[in-house]
């Protein structure tokens, strides 16, 4: 029983030390990440202007009978619906 208590104490102490270290190292990188986000937002504005020039988009897809069907997207999508977890995670990764 004493061995179990000692091992439990060691594991708990190790987890506390690891948790404290991650906060200290993460705090130093926070400012760098914030600067990158600001730069990304500035670039997003310039990219957004360029994306407007790409609409309307026409692409070819195939129906159930394997016949080509042309689809035209007139403007940039305003909302997206994701139902399953994989779709949601993919959308979050793209944001």
Residue, of 11 and 69, whose pLDDT is higher: 69
For residue range 41-95, list pLDDT tens digits in order.
555 555 555 555 678 899 999 999 999 999 999 988 888 888 999 999 998 998 8
- The residue among 16 and 59 whose pLDDT is bigger is 59
pLDDT for 70: 95
**pLDDT for the residue numbered 84:** 92
Global confidence as pTM: 0.32
Contact of 63 with 88, CB cutoff 8 Å: no
> In degrees rounded to 5, what are phi and psi of residue 77?
-60, 140
Confidence (pLDDT) at 60: 94
Sequence-distant (6+) residues with CB within 8 A of 60 are 68, 69, 70, 71
**pLDDT for position 2:** 81
Q: With beta carbons less than 8 A apart as the criterion, state whether 72 and 58 touch.
A: yes
Residue 47 has what pLDDT?
53
pLDDT reported for residue 85? 93
């Amino acid at each position: 029983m004493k061995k179990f208590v000692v091992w439990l104490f060691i594991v708990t102490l190790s987890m506390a030390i690891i948790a404290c270290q991650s906060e200290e190292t993460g705090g130093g990188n926070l400012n760098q990440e914030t600067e990158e986000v600001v730069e990304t937002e500035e670039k997003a504005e310039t990219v957004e202007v360029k994306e407007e020039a790409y609409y309307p988009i026409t692409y070819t897809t195939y129906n159930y009978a394997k016949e080509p069907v042309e689809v035209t997207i007139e403007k940039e999508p305003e909302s997206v619906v994701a139902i399953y977890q994989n779709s949601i995670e993919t959308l979050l990764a793209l944001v």
